[in-house]
Structure 1
Amino acid sequence: MLEMRPDCERCGADLPAEVPGAFICSFECTFCTTCAEDLDDVCPNCGGELMDRPTRAKKLHDKFPPSTERKFIPSTGSG
């Protein structure tokens, strides 16, 4: 079952599991529409193709909860 990660790991945008607009690779790296377009639909982590992530109906969240672990790490701007 997909983790349904809650955010874009490039910009931190919220990506609720029940809403379209998320893109994933085969390792479930997750990106928003804007970032996926900027990346030419290629995952920067593994080089795999970014595809539309399916949605999960909100009524199923209790039985099959999406992940709450955020992957975005803000840049500190130093260095």
Structure 2
Amino acid sequence: MLEIRPNCENCGKSLPYDSEEAMICTFECTFCITCVTKVLHNVCPNCGGGFEKRPVRPARFLEKYPPSNKTLLQPIDREKFIELQEKYKEIPPNKR
């Protein structure tokens, strides 16, 4: 079951359960589509994987399976990330 994390880990943008802008990696690191495309270039700063659109949790399941309300904000350290980004940004996520 996905946590449905409430914000972008990099910029802090709110990403509610029904957001069309939420992107996640295989470990559910959560970023907004702007950070994924313009800052991260589809490279997760935590695992090096790619991102996919996060599914929307149907409203009828929110009471039984509420989304997480725990925010996680850890803006990327550009100097540390650049090596990982350069290594993977030209390789399709399914080949990394």
Greater relative contact order (Cα < 8 A, sep 6+): 1
1:31 maps to which residue? 31
Query: Map of 1:1-20 to 2, 5 A cutoff?
Result: 1-20=1-20
2:87 maps to which residue? none
2:66 maps to which residue? 65
Q: Match for 1:48: what amino acid?
A: G
**Large movers: runs of 4+ above 6 Å:** none
TM-score w.r.t. structure 1 length? Answer: 0.86
TM-score w.r.t. structure 2 length? Answer: 0.72
Q: Identify unmatched segments of 5+ residues in structure 2.
A: 76-96
Measure how far apart 1:18 and its partner are: 1.5
Q: Identify unmatched segments of 5+ residues in structure 1.
A: 75-79
Percent identity for Structure 1 against Structure 2 = 51
Q: How many residues align?
A: 74
Cα RMSD of the aligned pairs, angstroms, is 1.2
Measure how far apart 1:35 and its partner are: 0.3
Instruction: Say which structure is richer in helix.
Output: 2
Measure how far apart 1:72 and its partner are: 1.0
Distance (Å, rounded) in 2 between the aligned partners of 1:69 and 1:25: 18
Measure how far apart 1:70 and its partner are: 0.3
Distance (Å, rounded) in 2 between the aligned partners of 1:72 and 1:58: 26
